[in-house]
Structure 1
Amino acid sequence: MIETFDNYKIALLRREDGEAFFNLIENNRVRLEDFFAGTVSKTMTLEATLNYCEDIQKRIADTSYLPYMITDLNTQQFVGLVDVKNIDMNVPKAELGSFIDSRYEGKGIVTKATKHVMDHIVKEYKFIKLLCRANSRNKGSIAVILKNGFELEGTIRKDYRTTKGEIVDLNYYGRVFD
């Protein structure tokens, strides 16, 4: 899938995107470390990131992880990510996560990108349920989630360990497709 909107492109992360992916994470590491702990821990160096991108290609091939990168068409730089994870084709359902570079925050980019990714994966993979998880203090993510039609299904207490070791509650939001 390669989709464009406004001045942005959405496409799956490719093997050759490792350095650009590393730069996006590195430029946002402090703000991502609590709620993108896995990605942050696997991208501490450029070499580690290149290895991680290699692993991701296998996961894309077997449909166990689908990272859609948001690229600014003016600069050709990655500015965000909408990832599809915890895929269960038995239902079929998946979880969405997203983030945007701090310089692009508040412009509705990740909200639009999430909608495009949702439309694509529901059509392509026939998902009937999508979910998102967010800590109640993550107001930006919650806004993206609600604007894309998700509803709060509940709060799971002591559900996630941040990079700093804090165990926090997460709100679960769901959306059903027919």
Structure 2
Amino acid sequence: MLLDSGTYNIEPIQGKDAWKLCDFVISNAERLKRYFPKTLEQNSTPDLAAIFVTKKVNQYSDKEEFLFKLTEKEHRTIIGLVYIKNTDWDNKQAELAYCIGYQYEGKGFITQSVKELATYAFEHLGLTTLQIVVHKTNMGSVKVARNNGFTWQKTLPKEHTPPGEAPLDMELYVLTNREHKFS
């Protein structure tokens, strides 16, 4: 699957992406350390990234978790990631998690990618509910959720513990396939 969004592509992570993924996480380490510490840790060297990518390709194939890369068209550089994770096939729901490189922030790439991948999740994976879990101070992420029709449901007490910090309350946003505007 490949989605062409004009200046960038959205596609599943592939085995050949280990070096590019390592470059992405290292150059965005400061941005990723609080909300994506495992992704950062597991891709901190090219060898670790190769193991990570192999695992994610297998999880995609097994329909456990779906990791998509956003790649800039001209140089094929990874500029962001979107996960469809915590998939609950019995309840037909999953969580979306996303990050964007510092130089691409605020350009609408994640908002558009979440829209495209929500459509993919509903139409091709058969999911009926998607969730986004964000910290209330992460206004960019809150804006992505709201701009895509996700509605705030509740606060999740002590849901996420960043490295070296106390547990944080997180906000749960939800979108159902009935509310999603397919385009």
Distance 1:58 1:2 in 2: 18
**What's the CA shift string for 1:120-173, capped at 9, x where partnerless?**
121011110000000111111111111011000000111111022431110000
Query: Given that residues 34 and 164 in structure 1 are in contact (C-alpha distance below 8 angstroms), is that contact kept between their aligned partners in structure 2?
Result: no
One-letter amino acid matched to 1:142:
V
Scaled by the length of structure 1, the TM-score of the pair is: 0.97
Distance 1:163 1:30 in 2: 12
One-letter amino acid matched to 1:95:
E
User: Residue in 2 aligned with 1:42?
Assistant: 42
1:167 equivalenced with 2:164 (yes/no): no
**What's the CA shift string for 1:77-110, capped at 9, x where partnerless?**
1100111000011111000011110001111111
Distance 1:56 1:107 in 2: 27
Moved more, 35-44 or 167-176: 35-44
Percent of aligned positions with the same letter in both sequences?
Answer: 23
Runs ≥4 in structure 1, deviation > 3 angstroms? none
One-letter amino acid matched to 2:94:
A
Q: Secondary structure at the match of 1:125?
A: coil
- Give the aligned length: 178
Q: Secondary structure at the match of 1:159?
A: strand
CA apart distance, 1:31 = 1.1
User: Residue in 1 aligned with 2:181?
Assistant: none
1:98 equivalenced with 2:103 (yes/no): no
Distance 2:107 2:115 in 1: 14
User: Residue in 2 aligned with 1:10?
Assistant: 10
One-letter amino acid matched to 1:10:
I
Alignment of 1:14-93 (within 5 A): 14-93=14-93
- Could you say what the CA RMSD is over the residues aligned between the two structures, in angstroms? 1.0
User: Residue in 2 aligned with 1:152?
Assistant: 152
One-letter amino acid matched to 1:21:
L
Q: Secondary structure at the match of 2:124?
A: helix
Scaled by the length of structure 2, the TM-score of the pair is: 0.94
Q: Where does structure 1 lack aligned partners over 5 or more consecutive residues?
A: none
Alignment of 1:121-160 (within 5 A): 121-160=121-160
